[in-house]
Amino acid sequence: MPNVLIRDLDPGVHSVLAARARERGQSLQQYLSAELARLAARPPLSEFLSARAGQPEATALTPETIVAAVHEGRAGR
């Protein structure tokens, strides 16, 4: 299995990531491996947008409709 080495990581960033791993009961390696897999599973923005090009709902998005959807989602909690 491939390895990844990150040099010159800010100590503060390392501390935050290590704390998040502990909160989940994981080692830092387990936590980072899961986060990297989650990140890799997301399509890049350009791919996401091109897949939705030409769809009517994609062009109907306005700041107002987005805010309304957020409020609707929060009200459903």
pLDDT at position 66? 86
Contact 31, 17 (CB under 8 A): yes
**Cα 73 from Cα 32, distance rounded (Å):** 29
End-to-end CA distance of the chain: 41
pLDDT at position 18? 98
Half-sphere exposure of residue 50: CA atoms within 13 angstroms, side-chain side? 5
Q: What is the distance of C-alpha 31 from the center of its chain?
A: 14
pLDDT digits (tens, 9 = 90+) for 49-68: 777 777 666 566 788 888 98
Q: Where are the domains of the chain?
A: 11-41, 45-75
Place of tokens 């390696």: 29
pTM of the entire predicted model:
0.61
- Per the model's pLDDT, the better-predicted residue between 62 and 39 turns out to be 39
Average pLDDT of the chain is 88
- Per the model's pLDDT, the better-predicted residue between 74 and 65 turns out to be 74
**Cα 34 from Cα 24, distance rounded (Å):** 11
